[in-house]
């Protein structure tokens, strides 16, 4: 990493150097004076900070360790948003953390962390980590620069510098009520600027998921990306090919289910990242199919209204153009619609899962949504009730409404299904009756023709 490390400071908060059998002590002594931002300046109100996180920091500090609240929560507080969770970074080793907290559990293989549980709230406590330039038995770098393993303890300053963006590297001492800034993150938050720590190309190469994180923070927090951080993004987008599909799935959930799915999609397309994640789905991703655009906008609307959202529905929308085209070909070749959709759907999912792992639960949901579509066309008596009792009926109905955007001939059908869900018993009887008599009328004609032959 091209991060400049300077001389140690603030011994009162640095605590003893961590040691462990399988995790290495700091590569370099902490150096460099962080900028200290006082309460008068940052104006973080302690009542907005998790009382449990404060308790954890207090106990660690009393035990002689350095400890701060770090990462996204401090950034969010400065931006006036309520953080989802609070993480703590400390000079104490995981074992020392466990000794101090009865309610702590050690987790993680790649880098061990302590989870300190308070009822439903979990405070994640991580030992300061270093980046370190050299390869060692604790740090493995592949040819392209990607860091495969980096379980190396570090100093406070190294811990700040190994983080991705400056705005994510602020450390808050809730006892002194000061922010400690090693990377110029405070100024960047105030200017609403997203900037990678260190040399952007190196940092993206170390971990290409940072390309996606850049888009996520830019959109979610409405930050302007600094030109040097934005510069290499398009050229480095192909590096995502090496990221394990399961990790991409986790990232995709955060990208699309946090209430900014549509602007996130547009930003991913602009940075050429969309095509890395979902190759070959749309002819021109900058003008996605109307159904996809609306599915993304509806997701954001639901998040804004506090309604549940599921990646299953979004995957159903993303893959639909492909599924629709392939199933149409199978139907033309004589296959029954539901089977054609199941087969085309399975193929599309298997293909997509090579890039982004789709959890079984969600691919199953997407398949159900697709396969229920032909059943909307059958509006006779018992079948109507049976369809309405399907557990994916609501999702499939929402999907039908989206299909109208691309297949206007479905409008009457969609309206009928909208009405049947809200009318009273008598009107419902009439609606079903209408379908029955329509069917009788439709049936009689071919018979007449037959008899005329």
Check binding of 130 to ligand ATP (CB under 6 A): no
Kindly give the interhelix angle for 425-452 and 381-388, rounded to the nearest 10 degrees: 130
Q: Per rule CB under 6 A, is residue 209 in the interface with ligand ATP? A: yes
Q: Can 76 be counted among the known catalytic residues? A: no
User: Which residue sits closest to ligand ATP, CB atoms considered?
Assistant: 72
Give the shortest CB-148-to-ligand ATP separation in angstroms: 13
Residues 367/345, Cβ–Cβ less than 8 Å: yes
Q: Which residue of the set 76, 150, 159, 164 is catalytic?
A: 164
Q: For ligand ATP, which is the closer residue by CB, 170 or 395?
A: 170
Taking the C-alpha atoms of residue 270 and residue 8, their distance in angstroms, rounded to an integer, is: 42
Applying CB under 6 A, does 84 fall inside the site for ligand ATP? yes
Can you give the length of the chain in residues? 453
Distance separating alpha carbons of residues 137 and 274, to the nearest angstrom = 35
Distance CA 286, CA 269 (A): 6
| 308 torsion bin: left (phi>0), alpha (psi -120 to 50), beta (else) | beta
228 within 8 A of 201, measured Cβ to Cβ = no
CA distances from 227 to 69, 162, 194, 195 (A): 29, 21, 9, 9
Piece of the chain touching ligand ATP by CB under 6 A; list 44-52, 161-169, 259-267, 324-332 = 161-169
Which of 304, 289, 294 has the alpha carbon at shortest distance from 262?
294
Q: Which residue is nearest to Mg ion (CB)?
A: 72
Site for ligand ATP contains 163 (CB under 6 A): yes
| Euclidean distance between CA atoms 126 and 163, whole angstroms | 13
Is 87 a catalytic site residue? yes
Q: Is 85 noted as a catalytic residue in this protein?
A: yes
Residue 72 lies near Mg ion (rule: CB under 5 A): yes
Binders of ligand ATP: how many residues, by CB under 6 A?
Answer: 11
Scanning 162-170, 177-185, 392-400, 429-437 for contacts with ligand ATP by CB under 6 A, the matching segment is 162-170
User: Phi/psi class of residue 81: alpha, beta or left (left: φ > 0; alpha: ψ in -120 to 50)?
Assistant: beta
Rule CB under 5 A: is residue 94 a binding residue for Mg ion?
no
Q: Least separation, in Å, of the C-beta of 266 and ligand ATP?
A: 19
How many chain residues touch Mg ion (CB under 5 A)?
1
Q: Does 83 bind Mg ion (CB under 5 A)?
A: no
Judged by CB, which is closer to ligand ATP: 164, or 188? Answer: 164
Residue ranges in contact with ligand ATP by CB under 6 A:
71-72, 84, 87, 163-164, 168-169, 207, 209-210
Judged by the rule CB under 5 A, the positions of this chain that interact with Mg ion are 72
Residues assigned a catalytic role: 85, 87, 164
């Amino acid at each position: 990493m091209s991060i400049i490390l300077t001389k140690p400071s603030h011994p009162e908060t640095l605590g003893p150097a961590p040691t462990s059998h399988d995790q290495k002590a700091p590569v370099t002594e902490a150096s460099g004076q962080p900028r200290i931002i006082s309460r008068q300046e940052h104006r973080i109100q302690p009542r907005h900070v998790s009382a449990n996180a404060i308790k954890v920091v207090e106990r660690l500090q009393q035990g002689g360790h350095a400890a701060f609240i770090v990462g996204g929560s401090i950034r969010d507080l400065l931006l006036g948003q309520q953080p989802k969770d609070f993480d703590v970074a400390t000079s104490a080793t995981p074992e020392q953390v466990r000794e101090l907290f009865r309610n702590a559990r050690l987790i993680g293989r790649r880098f061990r962390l302590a989870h300190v549980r308070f009822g439903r709230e979990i405070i994640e406590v991580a030992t300061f980590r270093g980046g370190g330039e050299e390869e060692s038995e604790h740090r493995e770098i592949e040819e392209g620069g990607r860091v495969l393993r980096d379980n190396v303890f570090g100093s406070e300053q190294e811990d700040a510098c190994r983080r991705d963006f400056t705005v994510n590297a602020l450390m808050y001492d809730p006892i002194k009520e000061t922010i400690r800034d090693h990377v110029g993150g405070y100024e960047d938050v105030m200017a609403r600027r997203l900037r990678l720590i260190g040399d952007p190309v190196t940092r993206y190469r170390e971990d290409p998921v940072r390309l996606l994180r850049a888009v996520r923070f830019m959109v979610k927090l409405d930050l302007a990306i600094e030109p040097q951080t934005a510069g290499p993004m398009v050229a480095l987008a192909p590096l995502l090919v090496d990221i394990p599909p399961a990790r991409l799935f986790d990232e995709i959930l955060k990208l699309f289910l946090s209430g900014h799915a549509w602007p996130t999609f547009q930003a991913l397309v602009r940075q050429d990242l969309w095509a890395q994640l979902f190759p070959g789905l749309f002819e021109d991703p900058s003008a996605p199919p109307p159904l996809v655009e609306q599915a993304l906008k509806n997701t954001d609307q639901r998040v804004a209204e506090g309604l549940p959202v599921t990646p299953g529905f979004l995957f159903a929308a993303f893959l639909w153009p492909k599924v629709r085209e392939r199933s149409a070909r199978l139907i033309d070749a004589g296959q029954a619609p539901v089977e054609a959709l199941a087969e085309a759907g399975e193929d599309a999912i298997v293909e997509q899962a090579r890039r982004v792992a789709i959890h079984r639960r969600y691919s199953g949901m997407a398949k159900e949504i697709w396969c229920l579509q032909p059943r909307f066309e059958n509006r006779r008596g018992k079948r109507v009730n049976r369809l309405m009792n399907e557990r994916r009926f609501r999702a499939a109905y929402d999907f039908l409404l989206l299909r109208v955007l691309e297949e206007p001939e479905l409008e009457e059908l969609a309206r009928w299904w909208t009405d049947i869900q809200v009318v009273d018993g008598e009107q419902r009887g009439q609606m079903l009756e209408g379908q029955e008599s329509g069917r009788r009328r439709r049936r009689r004609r071919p018979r007449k023709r037959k008899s005329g032959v």
